[in-house]
Amino acid sequence: MDAIHSKSVFVYGQVKCALRSGRYAPGQRIDPAVIAAEFNTSPTPVRFALYRLVGEALLVDHARSGLHVPLLTEVAMRDLYDWMERLLSMACDIGVAPTARKTELLELASADDDLVKLTWQLFDAIARATAQGFLHHAVKQANDRLAPIRRAAQGLFGNRFEELTELNRHWQARDMRTLKSALHDYHERRKQLVPCIVALLSEGSDYLH
């Protein structure tokens, strides 16, 4: 049983990283048999790992067609963006805790950087610095759910590097009031484009075909 648990934890971590990296797009079917073959393991630890991800809303179980990366409706996607904004706004209000360990500087060199990964890291750092464990956990969950959406829809936003550079500048200066306002603008731009994002993701969805 320990071996199954260890393998399940490993598969869970690998699939979660793959979801963040955009290997699996919103709406794409996840085949447990393919995962088991990839990691040279039996189906049991794979099922444990995948249903743990279902519990975190990173996968959904469509009974007849299997497990898929979530493909959100316009209402659900707008709610998710709004939830992330509210969490980060709360983090800005709390500010950096005296007991928070020093966060590493976010290196933004060029528009060719992995801006989706850097966005995840920035939002995580803002929440982690509050030293509020429940808030940080909620931001991590929302960050993970938004990562595949950010990656799939990044072509809709032409100024992502400048946008993220501005957010990072406010964060490094610990100008929480200005950061909070900039985060609001960041999420408003995305909420305004939700219909376009949903239409784009739906075009490539396995679930709808």
Q: Kindly indicate the confidence band of residue 98, based on its pLDDT and cuts at 50, 70 and 90.
A: confident
Same domain membership, residue 65 and residue 35: yes
pTM of the model: 0.88
Q: Round to whole Å and give the CA distance between 92 and 139.
A: 13
Mean pLDDT of 107-127: 87
Q: Which residues lie below 8 Å from residue 196, measured CB to CB, with a gap of 6+? A: 156
Is there a domain that residue 207 lies in? no
Pairing of strands 66-68, 60-62: antiparallel
* CA-to-CA separations, 47 to 9, 32, 34, 71, in angstroms, rounded: 11, 7, 12, 21
Closest residue by Cα to residue 197 from 80, 30, 58? 80
* Whether residue 56 sits in one domain with residue 153: no
pLDDT at 37: 94
Asked if residue 193 and residue 124 are part of one domain, the reply reads yes
Q: Are 128 and 87 in contact (CB under 8 A)?
A: no
Q: Where does the pLDDT of residue 118 fall: very low under 50, low under 70, confident under 90, or very high at 90 and above?
A: very high
∠ Cα 34 40 146 (to 5°): 50
pLDDT at 111: 66
Q: Answer whether residue 183 is part of any domain.
A: yes
Q: Which of 125, 129, 122 is nearest to 98 (CA)?
A: 129
Collapse the DSSP code of 123 into the 3-class scheme (helix H, G, I; strand E, B; otherwise coil) and give the result: helix
Top pLDDT among 199 and 3 is at 199
Question: Is pLDDT larger for residue 178 or for residue 25?
Answer: 178
Our count of domains for the chain comes to: 2
> What pLDDT, in 10s, does the model give residues 140-189?
999 999 999 999 888 898 889 999 999 999 999 999 999 999 999 999 99
Task: Kindly state whether residue 157 falls inside one of the protein's structural domains.
Answer: yes
Residue 64 shares a structural domain with residue 128:
no
Shared domain check, 97 and 36: no
Same domain, 58 and 123: no
189 and 173: one domain?
yes
How far apart are alpha carbons 54 and 85 in whole angstroms? Answer: 23
Q: Is residue 168 included in any domain, yes or no?
A: yes
Whichever domain contains 42, its CATH number is: 1.10.10.10
pLDDT band (50, 70, 90) for residue 197: very high
Q: Are residues 37 and 101 in the same domain?
A: no
Same domain? For 95 and 176 the reply is: yes
**For a pLDDT cut of 70, what percent of the chain falls above it?**
93
Q: What is the pLDDT of residue 1?
A: 55
Tell whether 110 and 145 lie within a shared domain: yes
- DSSP assigned state of 154: G
Mean pLDDT of 93-119: 81
Helices (H), ranges, the chain:
2-21, 32-38, 43-55, 74-94, 115-128, 133-153, 160-172, 176-192, 194-203
Q: Are 120 and 20 in contact (CB under 8 A)?
A: yes
Each residue's pLDDT tens digit, 44-84: 999 999 999 999 999 999 878 899 999 999 999 999 999 99
Last residue of a domain, one of 49, 70, 91: 70
H/E element, 29 = strand 29-30
With cut-offs at 50, 70 and 90, classify the pLDDT of residue 36. very high
pLDDT at residue 209, as a whole number: 44
Q: In this predicted structure, what is the pLDDT of residue 104? A: 63
**Are 84 and 138 found together in one domain?**
yes
Indicate whether 58 and 85 sit together in one domain: no
Domain carrying residue 24: 2-70
CATH assignment of the domain containing 80 = 1.20.120
Q: Examine the pLDDT at 204 and tell me if it is beyond 70.
A: no
End residue of a domain, out of 70, 91, 121? 70
- Confidence at residue 172, expressed as pLDDT on a 0 to 100 scale: 92
Q: Which of 70, 91, 116 is the last residue of a domain?
A: 70
